[in-house]
């Protein structure tokens, strides 16, 4: 499967909001989500689509599995 990358410019305000969510989620998940994970979670909710099969982060860190999305209410 081909993987594409999108670079996005953002304000300090948006970056800080993403970082705050990153920290918030790290307390309720098995592992710490990356900024990219946070953006994937947000896009999945916004688009109303389960992207868990196609948008899996295939990288591993120190032998650990990639981050799984948080449970939503």
Supply the pTM of this predicted model.
0.68
In this predicted structure, what is the pLDDT of residue 16?
95
Which one-letter DSSP state was computed for residue 72? -
DSSP class per residue in 39-55: HHHHHHHHHT---TTTS
Residue 35 CA to residue 22 CA, distance in Å, equals 6
Dump pLDDT digits (tens) for 13-61.
999 999 999 889 888 887 788 888 899 889 999 999 988 777 766 555 5
């Amino acid at each position: 499967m081909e993987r594409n990358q999108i670079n996005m410019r953002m304000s300090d305000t948006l970056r800080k909001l993403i970082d705050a969510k990153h920290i918030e989620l790290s307390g309720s998940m098995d592992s710490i989500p990356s900024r990219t994970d946070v953006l994937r979670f947000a896009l999945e909710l916004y688009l109303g689509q389960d992207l868990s099969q196609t948008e899996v982060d295939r990288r591993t860190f120190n032998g650990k599995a990639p981050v799984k999305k948080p449970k939503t209410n």
